[in-house]
Amino acid sequence: MSASAALVSTPSTTASEAPSFEALAETHRHSLFKYAYRLCGDKQIAEDLVQDSLLRAWRSFARLQNPAAALGWMKTIVRRENARRFERIQPRESAMPTEELPAQAAQDYDTSTDAFVLRRALRALPAEYREPLILQVLHGYSQQEIAARLGLTGAGAGTRLFRARQKLRAALGERG
């Protein structure tokens, strides 16, 4: 029997008999922390994610229909809080253009073989795929921000990002 199921007495549980938010939070706090830590890799950030997520869960607790599903529900909130962490970071404009860089500049910047191969594969992508990928990966733009910046729909930006990654994987796969 899961911890959530143990907190739920019977199918005839009334609202007054339902587990309290505090009981669910304490039961799942450790699992949520482990999950948050796997997402971010930093103890302090994981603790903050759990705190923010529990606050958000507490505000929405009345909407939880099945207390036995509380852990999955709370993990979803942790995952979304982690994503919000990146949305809060304002993308910084770079002086570096997203157009094609000369091969020599890429070599001077970083001489490691993997980085060189990756840069060459990025330069080989058609501009329509390279630009959204660079905006997302290097500049931290969300899919919607990319769409607005490039005059695309959200779905169009998503399609270009998907195809860019496909083409990049194929190009890197051919080279080892």
Task: Note the pLDDT tens digit of each residue in 135-154.
Answer: 888 778 888 988 888 888 99
Both tokens of 151, joined, read: 């005059």
- Determine the residue type at 66: N
Task: Note the pLDDT tens digit of each residue in 42-59.
Answer: 899 999 999 999 999 999
CA–CA dist 102, 96 (Å, integer)? 12
Does pLDDT of 27 surpass 80?
yes
Does pLDDT of 173 surpass 50?
yes
Average pLDDT over residues 90-108: 54
Mean pLDDT of the chain: 79
CA–CA dist 166, 125 (Å, integer)? 11
Note the pLDDT of residue 13: 43
CA–CA dist 57, 100 (Å, integer)? 46
Q: Domains in the chain and their CATH numbers?
A: 7-88 (1.10.1740.10), 103-174 (1.10.10.10)
With beta carbons less than 8 A apart as the criterion, state whether 147 and 156 touch.
Answer: yes
Packing angle, helices 127-137 and 113-124, rounded to 10: 130
**Spatial CA neighbour of 30 closest among 86, 78, 80, 84:** 78
**Spatial CA neighbour of 65 closest among 22, 26, 15:** 15
Percentage of residues in the chain having pLDDT higher than 70 = 73
* pLDDT grade for 5, boundaries at 50, 70 and 90: very low
